[in-house]
Amino acid sequence: MSSAGVTAGGPLSLVSRRGTIRRRRAAPPMAAIGAGGVATSPILTHLRERCATPLPVLRRVADAMAAEMRAGLVSDGAGDLPMILSYVDSLPSGDEKGAFYALDLGGTNFRVLKVQLGGRDGRVVETELQYAQIPQELMFGTTEELFDFIASELARFVSKEGGRSLHLPQGKKWELGFTFSFPVKQTSVDSGILIKWTKGFSVSGTAGRDVVACLNEAMERQGLDMRVSALVNDTVATLAGAHYYDEDVMVAVILGTGTNACYIERADAIPKLQGLKPRSGKMIINTEWGAFSGGLPLTEFDKDVDSASVNPGEQIFEKTISGMYLGEIVRRILLKMAKDNALFGDSVPQKLSTPFILGTPCLCAMQQDDTDDLTAVGAILSDTTGAQSSLKEREVVVEVCDTIVRRAGRLAGAGIVGILQKMEEDSHGLVLGRRTVVAMDGGLYEHYPQYRRYIQDAVTELLGQKTSENIVIDHNKDGSGIGAALLAAANSKYVG
């Protein structure tokens, strides 16, 4: 492990131009580093202190995560975490056969898939895929508008297939796995009520309604002959998709626009699971860990991001570690530095006041800049905010990005350890004492190398070198689409 893990929260670590962590030569702590000799370091020093995630902080977060999980399994509302029953109690066996559709609404990205399953030998024989973007205005429109758009994209996909969809035996409908990446209180594997929107969505009239009924009505309006046989969260679909190829997958985590995690729980460890226990003795639990808030090292900037959001007071973990918010936190810090410490000179770049102007992909691109004069950082700052910057200012910007991203990655790592810890406490050695795979997906995880490394650093620090070697944190790209189709197959009305 790099020394970054040990010093990651400390003031002396810095992301090098090559994207690796290197130790910075000790500089006078209050050195003037802003333009025209203006000292910006007090804000930076304060920021580093407030965002530090040394081992005790990581441990506190992991312990709190495990405790909240336990509380949420007892009864709804007993803790921060919803701990949603997925009603997925058997994972795809590998024997599934036939063609299944999947709709994957992850946020603004939206995918339609058709997956041809060939059973144990054939596995996934063929996948057809169509991407779409949810138009911005639909994020704030009505339920019918959103679901009509989704169903119309599905209809467009089906019509492109031409005659190939015509071979459906009479009386049967095509079956669909619906990945809906928002908190839903499931009432069965194929129905569930939206608890609330997240990730900036604010569609009217959906909360409290069964999203499968919303989709079915919209599909009928499009004349589509389909039924939803599995409604799943993206984490659950990712776990199913990854488990299909590797039975050691026990946990799935999404780190993208939003964030969440799910895991395989023992049915007898779920007091709120009433009635018949699943035959498998297990069920996937969707933690909705974005709602977690215990023991996080937060700053005034996080509080401002939260109060300006469409869901103030909610999804605090998500607002600290996920892709939708990291750029915005950094923008607010830079704005304060520009106003109070003349970072970027005498005037504040106008566009720096525009919320969400600096996206997390910009942070990532700036942290990959390995030129001596940070050319890409300068260009990104100029293009997005209009700021003209000196090399020293650009160095400050990169350090701000690293401080926020390091905190986020390390807290995500602590969250993962919290889940493993909860599972381990109940199973004694069956999780940490053997190979256990955590399937990861989401654009933030996929595209941000520093973020990935900070997660791994935190996991290694918390579990120790030897135990952490059992824990495989593995990227499972786009597994949720196939996972949803597999779950549609595993829960098919026509087989078994």
Strands 174-180 and 124-133, sheet pairing: unpaired
Q: How many residues bind ligand BGC (CB under 6 A)?
A: 17
Cα–Cα distance for residue pair 172/187, rounded to 1 Å? 24
Residue 9 in contact with ligand BGC, rule: CB under 6 A: no
For ligand BGC, give the closer residue by CB, 309 or 403.
Answer: 309
Residue 415 in contact with ligand BGC, rule: CB under 6 A: no
The full length of the chain comes to 496
Specify whether the CB–CB gap between 160 and 167 falls below 8 A.
Answer: no
Candidates 68, 175, 234, 306; binder of ligand BGC (CB under 6 A) is: 234
Map tokens 């908190």 to a residue: 183
Closest residue to ligand BGC, Cβ-based? 258
Q: What is the DSSP letter of 52?
A: -
For ligand BGC, give the closer residue by CB, 174 or 182.
Answer: 182
Catalytic residue, from 196, 199, 319, 422: name it: 199
Rounded to the nearest whole angstrom, what is the least distance from the CB of residue 174 to ligand BGC in the complex? 25
Specify whether the CB–CB gap between 460 and 472 falls below 8 A.
Answer: no
Contact string 127-166 vs ligand BGC (x = CB under 6 A)? ----------------------------------------
Candidates 186, 206, 259, 299; binder of ligand BGC (CB under 6 A) is: 259
Stretch that binds ligand BGC, among 240-248, 252-260, 349-357, 390-398 (CB under 6 A): 252-260
Residue 181 in contact with ligand BGC, rule: CB under 6 A: yes
Which residues are CB-contacts of 54 (< 8 A; sequence separation ≥ 6)? 9, 10
Residue 206 in contact with ligand BGC, rule: CB under 6 A: no
| DSSP code string of 136-181 | GGGGGSBHHHHHHHHHHHHHHHHHHTGGGG--PPTT--EEEEEEE-
Rounded to the nearest whole angstrom, what is the least distance from the CB of residue 54 to ligand BGC in the complex? 28
Residue 5 in contact with ligand BGC, rule: CB under 6 A: no
Active site residue 234: yes
Stretch that binds ligand BGC, among 163-171, 233-241, 300-308, 486-494 (CB under 6 A): 233-241
Q: What is the DSSP letter of 267?
A: G
- H or E, element range at 246: none
Candidates 79, 82, 183, 443; binder of ligand BGC (CB under 6 A) is: 183
Cα–Cα distance for residue pair 126/129, rounded to 1 Å? 10
Rounded to the nearest whole angstrom, what is the least distance from the CB of residue 3 to ligand BGC in the complex? 32
Cα–Cα distance for residue pair 315/69, rounded to 1 Å? 15
CA torsion sign for 23, 24, 26, 31 is: negative
Residue 233 in contact with ligand BGC, rule: CB under 6 A: yes
* Residues between 91 and 110 with contacts to ligand BGC, criterion CB under 6 A: 106
State the SS3 of 472-496: EEEECCCHHHHHHHHHHHHCCCCCC
3-state DSSP assignment of residue 251: strand
Stretch that binds ligand BGC, among 91-99, 176-184, 344-352, 366-374 (CB under 6 A): 176-184
For ligand BGC, give the closer residue by CB, 198 or 309.
Answer: 198
CA atoms within 13 A on the CB side of 16: 8
Rounded to the nearest whole angstrom, what is the least distance from the CB of residue 57 to ligand BGC in the complex? 24
Which residues are CB-contacts of 30 (< 8 A; sequence separation ≥ 6)? 39, 41, 42, 45
Rounded to the nearest whole angstrom, what is the least distance from the CB of residue 127 to ligand BGC in the complex? 21
Q: What is the dihedral of CA 68, 69, 74, 75, to 10 degrees?
A: 70
Specify whether the CB–CB gap between 35 and 345 falls below 8 A.
Answer: yes
Residue 288 in contact with ligand BGC, rule: CB under 6 A: yes
Stretch that binds ligand BGC, among 47-55, 223-231, 258-266, 356-364 (CB under 6 A): 258-266
Candidates 198, 206, 287, 320; binder of ligand BGC (CB under 6 A) is: 198
Active site residue 277: no
Residue 301 in contact with ligand BGC, rule: CB under 6 A: no
103 has which bridge partners? 112, 178
Which residues are CB-contacts of 383 (< 8 A; sequence separation ≥ 6)? none
Q: What is the dihedral of CA 461, 463, 467, 468, to 10 degrees?
A: -60
Residue 344 in contact with ligand BGC, rule: CB under 6 A: no
Candidates 254, 334, 352, 401; binder of ligand BGC (CB under 6 A) is: 254
Residue 293 in contact with ligand BGC, rule: CB under 6 A: no
CA atoms within 13 A on the CB side of 323: 23
* Residues between 422 and 481 with contacts to ligand BGC, criterion CB under 6 A: none
Rounded to the nearest whole angstrom, what is the least distance from the CB of residue 21 to ligand BGC in the complex? 28
* Residues between 303 and 322 with contacts to ligand BGC, criterion CB under 6 A: 318
Cα–Cα distance for residue pair 226/219, rounded to 1 Å? 7
For ligand BGC, give the closer residue by CB, 148 or 234.
Answer: 234
Instruction: Provide the annotated active-site residues.
Output: 199, 234
Interface with ligand BGC by CB under 6 A: which residues? 106, 181-183, 198-199, 233-235, 254, 256, 258-260, 288, 290, 318
